Amino acid sequence: MKKKRISIVDYGVGNLLSVSRAFSYLGQETELISEPDKIENAEYLVLPGVGAFPDGMRELQSRNLVSALCRYTRSNRPLLGICLGMQMLFDMGTEHSETRGLGLIPGQVVAIPQTNLSGESHKIPHIGWGDLNFSASTKNLSKNLPQACSVYFVHSFMAATDDSFVVASTSYGGWKIAALVNRANVWGAQFHPEKSGQVGLEILKNFFNDSL
C-alpha cells in the first residue's frame, strides 16, 4: 500500500512528536508544516495542540494559518483536530476571555463544570481514560473499534455543540462530554488518540484510510 503523507500543523503549541510518531508507527509518512501554502497543499491534515484556547488561536493567526486552514477544509480533504486543535474548530472559546475560533463546526468551548452532576466538587482537569459512547452511525473514525473502549483525556474545557456533530461522547462526573466530533470532512478528538493505545491507533488508521 502506498504511504500516505500526513501533514501535522506546527504552530509552536503542544506535543507534535507523539502525534507524528503514532502515524510513523502506522507506516505513514509524516511532515511538520507551518506555512499557509503547505497547509493548502496537504493531503491529510492534523491540527494538534495543548494549552489555552486564546494562545492557540494567537499562534495560528501570527503565522497566517487561519484562512489557510479554512481554505483547506473547503477542498473536502480530511482535517483532524486533537485536544486544543479540536476545540479551535468551533466558533468560540471562553477560556480566559471570549476568543473566536476557526468556525468550522458550530458551537462553543466552555469550562467543564466544577462540580459533578450531584453537585460535589470533582477533579479538574479531567485526566485519565474515559469510555467512548458512540452515537448511531458507526462508520467513519470508529470503524473496527470494539463496542466498549476507552481513550485518554487531559482537558479542562469542552465543546458545547449540537448532538448532530457529536460522533462519540464520554462521561465525566456524570456530565456528557463531546469526545469525537465531525462535520463533513472536519473531525475533532477531545482525547489524545496518540496516547490511547490500540484504540487510538485504530482511530488514526481510519483517518488516513479514507473511511471517512
Partner 1 sequence: MPRIRLIARLDIKGANLIKGINLEGLRVIGDPNVFARKYDEAGIDEIIYMDSVASLYGRNSLSAIVEKTTSEVFIPITVGGGLRTLEDVQRTLRSGADKVAINTAAIRNPEFITEVANRFGSQAMVLSVEAKRTERGNWEAYYNCGREKSDRDVVEWVQEAVERGAGEVLLTSVDREGTRRGFDIELVKAVTTKVRVPVIASGGMGTIDHLIDVLNRGKADAVAMADILHYNRETTPNIRQRIKQSGFDVRTT
Active-site amino acid positions: 83, 192, 194
Phi, psi of 8, deg, nearest 5: -110, 125
Measured distance CA(173)–CA(193) in Å, rounded: 22
- Contact between 133 and partner 1 by CB under 8 A: the answer reads no
Rg of the chain over Cα atoms, rounded to whole angstroms, equals 16
Residues 180/168, Cβ–Cβ less than 8 Å: yes
DSSP structure class, residue 84: H
Size of the site for partner 1 (CB under 8 A): 27
Place of cell 452532576: 117
Stretch that binds partner 1, among 20-28, 69-77, 87-95, 157-165 (CB under 8 A): 20-28
In whole angstroms, the minimum distance from the beta carbon of 108 to partner 1 comes to 22
Q: Which stretch binds partner 1 (CB under 8 A): 11-19, 65-73, 137-145, 178-186?
A: 11-19
Q: Does 21 bind partner 1 (CB under 8 A)?
A: yes
Say whether residue 150 binds partner 1 (CB under 8 A).
yes
Query: Which positions from 163 to 202 touch partner 1 by CB under 8 A, shown as an x/- string?
Result: -------------------------------xxxx--xx-
Instruction: Return the residue of 70, 111, 117, 127 that touches partner 1, per CB under 8 A.
Output: 127
Strands across the sheet with 166-172, in order?
Answer: 29-33, 5-9, 44-47, 79-82, 186-189, 175-183, 166-172, 133-134
Nearer to partner 1 by Cβ, of 106 and 197: the residue is 197
Task: Count the residues in the chain.
Answer: 212
Candidate list 32, 50, 110, 160; residue touching partner 1; CB under 8 A: 50
Strand order in 105-111's β-sheet?
A: 99-100, 90-93, 105-111, 157-160
Binding site for partner 1 (CB under 8 A): 15, 17-18, 21-22, 24-25, 50-51, 121, 123, 125, 127-129, 131, 148-150, 152, 154, 194-197, 200-201
